[in-house]
């Protein structure tokens, strides 16, 4: 019985990834990486926001850029807006939890930045407000979603939507997509000419 659960979950995860990586989405992943490269070349940075598991993914991917992914290279500027508990709790307490990312985007962001907004439903209020703030500043917005993209679908420049209803399968695909974006950014910036 337990081994059947293991195999069923594994097969669902593989199917979700296979369904995502069609011709259109593959091109969008490349487009997302190119947008991040352009931001870095223009002196901008990558801002990342999400809740729960998506918050952990934001932190994980920021670390891949700041430290390194798979090659030795200079650190790249990425900032997870999910890590400063003093900011998050003071904004949540004094204003509302819906503003914990948007206030940080307005304070720390520039028009040369890219915002990677992560929400498995596409409907997280605080992520949507971060998108609004980034849009008003002229940032490029990449949305990483599932379930059709929700309210984020028509508010982002590049929509990377995982066609699945289960949060775990969506998040597993998100981290694969993000790792591929990290690899592409490294390739474009540091390996393409060689």
Average pLDDT of the residues in 157-172: 96
- pLDDT at res. 42: 98
Q: What per-residue confidence (pLDDT) applies to 28?
A: 98
- Angstrom distance (rounded) from CA 55 to CA 75: 21
Write down the pLDDT at residue 192: 76
Calpha distance 60→43 (Å, rounded): 22
* pLDDT, averaged across the chain: 96
| H/E element, 143 | strand 140-146
Amino acid 56: pLDDT = 98
pLDDT given for residue 194 in this prediction: 52
Mean pLDDT of 31-38: 98
- pLDDT grade for 161, boundaries at 50, 70 and 90: very high
Q: What is the pLDDT of residue 1?
A: 84
Per-residue pLDDT tens digits for 72-122: 999 999 999 999 999 999 999 999 999 999 999 999 999 999 999 999 999
Residue 139 has pLDDT above 80, yes or no: yes
Instruction: Decide the pairing of beta strands 140-146 and 158-162.
Output: parallel
Position 150 confidence tier, pLDDT thresholds 50, 70, 90: very high
Mean pLDDT, rounded, for 133-137: 98
Domains delineated in the chain: 2-191 (3.40.50.10490)
Q: What is the pLDDT of residue 114?
A: 98
pLDDT at 174 over 60: yes
pLDDT band with cut points at 50, 70 and 90 for residue 193:
low
Please tell me the predicted confidence (pLDDT) of residue 60. 98
Which phi and psi (to 5°) does residue 167 adopt? -55, -45
């Amino acid at each position: 019985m337990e081994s059947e659960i293991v195999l069923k979950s594994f097969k669902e995860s593989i199917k979700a990834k296979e369904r995502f990586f069609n011709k259109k989405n593959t091109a969008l992943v490349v487009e997302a990486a190119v947008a991040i490269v352009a931001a870095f070349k223009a002196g901008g940075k990558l801002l990342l926001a999400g809740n729960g598991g998506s918050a952990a993914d934001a932190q994980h991917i920021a670390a891949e850029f700041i430290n390194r992914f798979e090659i030795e290279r200079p650190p790249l500027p990425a900032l997870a807006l999910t890590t400063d508990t003093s900011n998050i709790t003071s904004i949540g307490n004094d204003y509302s939890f819906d503003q914990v990312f948007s206030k940080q985007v307005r304070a720390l962001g520039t028009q040369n930045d890219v915002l990677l907004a992560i929400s498995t439903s596409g409907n997280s209020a605080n992520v949507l407000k971060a998108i609004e703030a980034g849009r008003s500043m002229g940032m490029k917005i990449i949305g990483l979603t599932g379930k059709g993209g929700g309210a984020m679908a028509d508010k982002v420049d590049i929509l990377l939507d995982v066609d699945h209803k289960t949060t775990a399968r969506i998040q597993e695909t998100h981290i694969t997509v993000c790792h591929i974006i990290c690899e592409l950014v490294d390739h474009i910036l540091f390996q393409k000419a060689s």
